[in-house]
Amino acid sequence: MEELKKKLKEQIIEALNLQDTKPEDIDDNAPLFGEGLGLDSIDSLELMVLLERQYHIKVEDPREGRKILQSVQSMAEFITSKQPA
């Protein structure tokens, strides 16, 4: 899980072109949207694209997406739950 979260942070930074952010700047539990990283609804769509391209997980419903994309922690948990044990 720690490995996954580290990789996720790098992928988020690359996908969203967060030039001034380093992986260690992102707290596992900090909200990605609004206050935290200051992401918006277009970023949330881009993060769903990231999940689909990198982890082959498709999120259909944007309402469901909002829950999954709360934080790096929630994303990592979702990815883990979708992967075969």
Partner 1 sequence: MAERVFITGVGMITAIGDDVAGNLHSLRSQRSGLGYTEYIDTIYRQVLPVAEVKHPSESLFALAGVPVKEGYTRTTLLGLIAMQEALRDAGIEDVQSAPTGFINASTVGGMCDTEKVYFDIIDPEKTGTFLQYIDTLDCADCTQRIADIVGFSEHIATISTACSSSANALMFGARMIRQGMLPRMVCGGTEALTRFTLNGFNSLKNVDKQFCRPFDQQRTGLNLGEGAAYLVLESESFAKANNSRILAELSGYCNTNEAFHPTSPSPDGDGAYEAMKTALAMSGHSLEQVEYINVHGTATLNNDVSEGKALERLFGDKVPLFSSTKPFTGHTLAAAGAIEAIYSILAIRHGLIFPNLNFSEKMEELSVTPVTQLLEGYPVNNVISNSFGFGGNNASLVISKYEG
Partner 2 sequence: MKGKCYIQGMAAISPQPTFEGDIFQAPLVHTDSNLLACIEPDYKPFIPGNSLRRMTRTLKMGLTAALKCIQDSGISSPGPIITGTGKGSLQDTEKFIKEIVEYKETALNPTPFIQSTYNSVNGLIALQQKCTAYNNTFVHRGFSFENALLDSIMMIQEGASHTLTGAFEEITQEHFYIKSRIGCWKSAPVNSQDVYQQLSPGTIAGEGATFFTLTDAATPQSYAAISGFRMLYKPSEEKLATTLRNFSQSADLVICGRNGDSNHEHYYEVMDACFPGVPQLPFKHLCGEYDTAGAFGLWLGAWILKAQQLPASWFPMQEQLTAPVHSILFYNHFFGEQHVMLQLERV
60 binds, among partner 1, partner 2, none (CB under 5 to 8 A by kind): partner 1
Question: Would you say 32 and 8 are in contact if contact means Cβ atoms under 8 Å apart?
Answer: no
Tokens of 47: 């993060």
- Minimum CB separation of residue 8 from partner 2 in Å reads 17
Instruction: Give, rounded to a whole angstrom, the gap between the first and last alpha carbons of the chain.
Output: 13
Among 7, 45, 74, 77, binds partner 2 (CB under 8 A): 45
CB of 54 to partner 1, least distance (A): 17
Smallest gap from Cβ 28 to partner 1, in A, equals 26
Burial of 73 (0-12, 13-18, 19+ CB in 10 A): middle
The option from partner 2, partner 1, none interacting with 57 (CB < 5 to 8 A, set by class) reads none
